[in-house]
Amino acid sequence: DSGVTQTPKHLITATGQRVTLRCSPRSGDLSVYWYQQSLDQGLQFLIQYYNGEERAKGNILERFSAQQFPDLHSELNLSSLELGDSALYFCASSSRTGSGNTIYFGEGSWLTVV
Amino acid sequence: AQSVTQLGSHVSVSEGALVLLRCNYSSSVPPYLFWYVQYPNQGLQLLLKYTSAATLVKGINGFEAEFKKSETSFHLTKPSAHMSDAAEYFCAVSGTYGQNFVFGPGTRLSVLP
């Protein structure tokens, strides 16, 4: 158990809909990352937050957005969903202190768009 | 900017044989290097990491990796494969404080009886 909690574990929704994925980082971790994993794209970095502020942005679509709340949990919002958005979405967290910070992954949220 | 390449998207070994998974990196700053493992239907789990303390890094489950600056490599090895080692393995590189944490495309390891 990495200490990173993601909900829901599985989600099936229709095209055009909007979903929210939730992540609770490890206790004490200030940084949260979101990744998308699909068969054709591999593991893609979406976005990183640190202590409530956006720190880095990767291949995140404009239809997707995220935020990190004062209690440090994070949400990834996916809207106008398309079939190609079906993937496993991971949240990960890390602390700020220490060199070469390890990032710890949650179990992921499986999103199926039908 | 950092990048990672992993030679071989799929590697098969026999049980008891040597496991060698290759990783080469590119980094404009002294890198921190990681190997993660992903078992089916699970998240990524840290196997080991290099943070400049020692070039040979030992991780969990008998895996180790050697940092070779001259070759910009961080290959993962295990002397004797076990059936339970079958999984996807990801090499990653980052700068300090976790920024620009970049993963390679992954290598799927199959272990044959």
pLDDT for B100:
66
- Kindly report, residue by residue over A29-78, the tens digit of the pLDDT: 999 999 999 988 888 889 999 899 998 888 899 999 999 999 999 999 99
B105: chain A residues, CB-CB within 8 Å: 42-43
pLDDT band at A98 (very low <50, low <70, confident <90, very high): very low
A107 to chain B, closest Cα gap in Å: 4
Which residue on chain B is closest to A33 by alpha carbon? B101
B96 to chain A, closest Cα gap in Å: 5
Most confident of A8-12, A93-97, B48-52, B68-72: A8-12
Interface contact A102, partner B, CB < 8 A: yes
* Contact in structure between A4 and A102 (CB atoms under 8 Å): no
Q: Which of A33, A43, A101 sits opposite B90 (nearest CB)?
A: A43
Inform me whether the pLDDT recorded for A82 exceeds 80. Answer: yes
Judged by CB atoms closer than 8 Å, whether chains meet at A105 and B43 is answered as: yes
* Contact in structure between B36 and B53 (CB atoms under 8 Å): no
What does each C-alpha distance from B19 to B57, B60, B109 come to in angstroms? 16, 14, 9
Cα angle A47, B74, A32; round to 5: 20
Burial B9-45 (b: 16+ CB within 10 A, else e): eebebeeeeebebbbbbebeeebbbbbbbbeeeebbb
- Across residues A96-113, what is the average pLDDT? 82
Percent with pLDDT over 70 in chain A: 96
Interface contact B91, partner A, CB < 8 A: no
Chain A, residues 44-63, CB within 8 A of chain B, namely 45, 48, 55-56
pLDDT for B2:
75
Residues of chain B predicted below pLDDT 70: 95-100
